[in-house]
Structure 1
Amino acid sequence: MAKALLPDDLWALIQPLLPVHQPSPKGGRPRIDDRAALTGILFVLKTGLPWEYLPRELGCGSGMSCWRRLHAWQQAGVWQRIHEAMLHHLREYDQIQWERASVDSASVPSPLGGQHTGPNPTDRGKLGCKHHLLVDQRGLPLVASISGAQVHDSRMLIPLLETVPSVSGLAGRPRKRPAKLHADKAYASRAHRAWLRSRGIAPRIARYGIESRERLGKWRWVVERTLGWLHRFRRLRIRYERRADIH
């Protein structure tokens, strides 16, 4: 049996977060159902299929209708609300491990260019972008961002930490800062270590000529694994969207 792209329990969590549509008094063509549109978006995300080739047999309407719904929901902040709702739901069951966090990035090709792309120094200067990811101790994504492939990893460390949402769900104050942060040598600088300590985060950043290779991946491997999981979605493995917000 084929695996459902949008199971009932996941849809039950997402549906209340979607904006309520007010039909036009002038009538017009019926609007595609929200669940059908989200199913089409997930199908394109997973398969990497061009929007215009989305099969109508899925019941999702046209691919461009799904694209427009994706854009409208992005403008309305729906995706951020869904992510925060997921984190809140997990924290209610104490499933977010704030003791340690890890940060890393991965470059992906962007053959069509667009916002937040640039020459990739590790791919003969071809256009690309970077996916930056901050995860908890088990690899749960806390925040993600993109930049041009030429942007150094260290420049995204502070923006990533500053955009971690406050997550409630348990007794006490909402949580948004890990106790320790693990990162590789690309993030090594005295300024970053001082900034982390000033916010109560213990830096565990590899230092040149001190930490051996054997110790670097003891805690950081989870962020590399999560990046690998994200890039199983073919729409993320190669960036075809020119617009950064859509990607």
Structure 2
Amino acid sequence: MSLQLQKPIAFIDLETTGTNLGTDRIVEIAIVKIGKDGSKQTKRKLINPEMPIPAGASDVHGITDEMVREAPAFRQVANEFKQFLDNCDLGGYNSNRFDIPLLVEEFLRAGLDFDMNNRRMIDVQKIFHMMEQRTLSAAYKFYCNKTLDGAHSAEVDAAATWEVLEAQLQRYPQLGDSLDSIIKFIGEDQVVDFARRFIMSNGIEVFNFGKHKGKAVAEVLKAEPQYYDWMMKGDFPLHTKQKLTEILNRTLLKKSN
């Protein structure tokens, strides 16, 4: 069974300085874009994170400070990647919780608002964990019967993720042949902010941390407006602050009406 695409889907893989969405940076980005006709385009770059790459991170992906010394900073190539992703759905391996959120953070740091509206997200890891529960290398071996040479190279991982999804469609006909059918099967995350400081509950945004956990964000901002200032000054991801501001502005607009 082949995946029937309504628009292109871009499989994203990042290698980074670490796993903190608020403070870590990209050191390599690769995107494998699959067109509606099955054609494939690849874009890959090393990125200078403008901060030292920790030894522990280099041990995983093999990218060192010396390798990225002459590479562009993300802000220098951000528009190029934004245009490459125009009108694309997004996919990856653990991408809903890491690669896509961190990429959105980098776009925001570069002053670009990467619109996530009308983009569907397919996390191949979620399918795999529901069905088999393994790593990407094991998934590649299990589904494709091939050894993943060069794991933790962003381009290799992104391309392997696409191959795994293709193989999953063949193995699990219950997934269907469209992004909508896959999302319906595995469930879709109701994302407010990628760091999941806010979640949806009964159709409204509520806090998912701290003293106001479980309370409606809009109600807290009305009763305790200084909490907005505290969060905006705090070490929260830019995407979280963006969504908090959207909720505040919507709340103020309702009050004025």
Would you say same fold, with TM above 0.5? no
TM tier relative to shorter chain: under 0.3
Flag the structure with higher helix content. 2
TM-score normalised according to structure 2 size: 0.26
